[in-house]
Amino acid sequence: AQSVTQLDSQVPVFEEAPVELRCNYSSSVSVYLFWYVQYPNQGLQLLLKYLSGSTLVESINGFEAEFNKSQTSFHLRKPSVHISDTAEYFCAVSAPSGGSYIPTFGRGTSLIVHP
Amino acid sequence: DAGVIQSPRHEVTEMGQEVTLRCKPISGHDYLFWYRQTMMRGLELLIYFNNNVPIDDSGMPEDRFSAKMPNASFSTLKIQPSEPRDSAVYFCASSHRGEQYFGPGTRLTVT
C-alpha cells in the first residue's frame, strides 16, 4: 500500500516570495509522483510529474519539484510566487503494478498569496 | 479533445430524490475514476473502472450509491435516495498510465 502526507494544510506567503510545499510518501515499490493544482471552482489539473530519469522536474509556470528517494519526498517549490498561484495543491503517488496506475492523493495544501 | 466532460455542473435537489451524475472521459483512456470532495473529508476516491469494468468500489459510502460504465465513452454515478450529507463536489477523472485528467466537477446540493 502507498500513502502520501502533505505536511502543511495551509501556506500563506507574500507575492514575489519563495515557497515550498512539502510532500512525503511511503511505498514499498518504485513510484510515479505528481503534483496537481486546483483553482477555485475548478477540477484538478496536472502541474508536473516524475516518472523516471532526472529527479528535478519543472512546470511551464515556474514551479519545480525534486524527487528524493532517500527521504521519500517530492517537495514543490517556486522561487517567486504570484497572486494567481493562489490555489489548492495536491501531491499524488502512483505505484504501477501489473499495468495498473491507481494514484493516492494527499489531503492538499492551500497556498495563499498575499499582495 | 475537449477533455473530461461532466454534467450537470450544478445540481440542487431535495432529500429523498434520485440524482444522476454523468461523465464522458477522454477518448482512449482506459481508466475512469469517480471522486467526491468536501471540506471535511477532502478528496475521496469512490470507485474506478478499467476498460469499463468496475475494479474497486470500496470507497462508495453506502448502497445508495451506484456507478455504471456501459461503454468506453460514458459513465454515471447515481445516488438514490439522496441525503443532505451527500452534498459535495463530485469529480470524474480519466487516465492512461497514471496521469489523471479531471472534469470540472458537479456541485451537488441536497436540501
Instruction: Give A15-67 pLDDT, tens digit per residue.
Output: 999 999 999 999 878 889 999 999 988 999 999 999 888 888 989 889 999 99
Averaged pLDDT of chain A:
91
Q: What per-residue confidence (pLDDT) applies to B98?
A: 77
Among the partner residues A45, A94, A107, nearest to B98 by beta-carbon distance: A94
Q: What per-residue confidence (pLDDT) applies to A33?
A: 92
Q: What per-residue confidence (pLDDT) applies to A97?
A: 66
* Cell output for B24: 464522458
Query: Is residue A50 less than 8 Å (CB to CB) from chain B?
Result: no
What is the three-class DSSP state of B84? helix
Interface contact flag, B43 A108, Cβ < 8 Å: yes
Q: What per-residue confidence (pLDDT) applies to A28?
A: 77
Q: What per-residue confidence (pLDDT) applies to A98?
A: 62
Pick the residue from chain B with its C-alpha nearest to A31: B98
In B1-111, which ranges are E strands?
5-7, 10-13, 19-24, 31-38, 42-50, 53-56, 65-71, 74-79, 88-96, 99-102, 106-110
Res. B2 pLDDT band, cuts 50 70 90: confident
Among the partner residues B31, B43, B99, nearest to A90 by beta-carbon distance: B43
Using CA atoms, how far residue B88 sits from A30, A39, A113, B40, B59, in Å, is 34, 16, 26, 10, 15
Among the partner residues A42, A49, A108, nearest to B99 by beta-carbon distance: A49
Indicate whether A76 pLDDT > 80.
yes
Res. A99 pLDDT band, cuts 50 70 90: low
Averaged pLDDT of chain B:
94
What is the rounded distance in angstroms from the CA atom of residue B94 to the CA atom of residue B28?
9
What is the rounded distance in angstroms from the CA atom of residue B65 to the CA atom of residue B46?
9
DSSP H helical ranges for B37-81 = none
Can you tell me the mean pLDDT for B56-60?
Answer: 92
Q: What per-residue confidence (pLDDT) applies to A52?
A: 83
* Cell output for A49: 510529474
Residues of B in contact with A105 (CB under 8 A): 42-43, 45
Q: How many CB atoms lie within 10 A of CB A11?
A: 17
Among the partner residues B31, B50, B105, nearest to A43 by beta-carbon distance: B105
CA distance A53 to chain B (A): 16
Q: How far apart are the first and last CA of chain A?
A: 41
Which residues lie closer than 8 Å to B28 by C-beta, 6 or more apart? B96
Q: What per-residue confidence (pLDDT) applies to A111?
A: 97
Residues of A in contact with B31 (CB under 8 A): 101-102
Residues of B in contact with A98 (CB under 8 A): none
What is the rounded distance in angstroms from the CA atom of residue A94 to the CA atom of residue A17?
31
Higher pLDDT, A75 or B96: A75
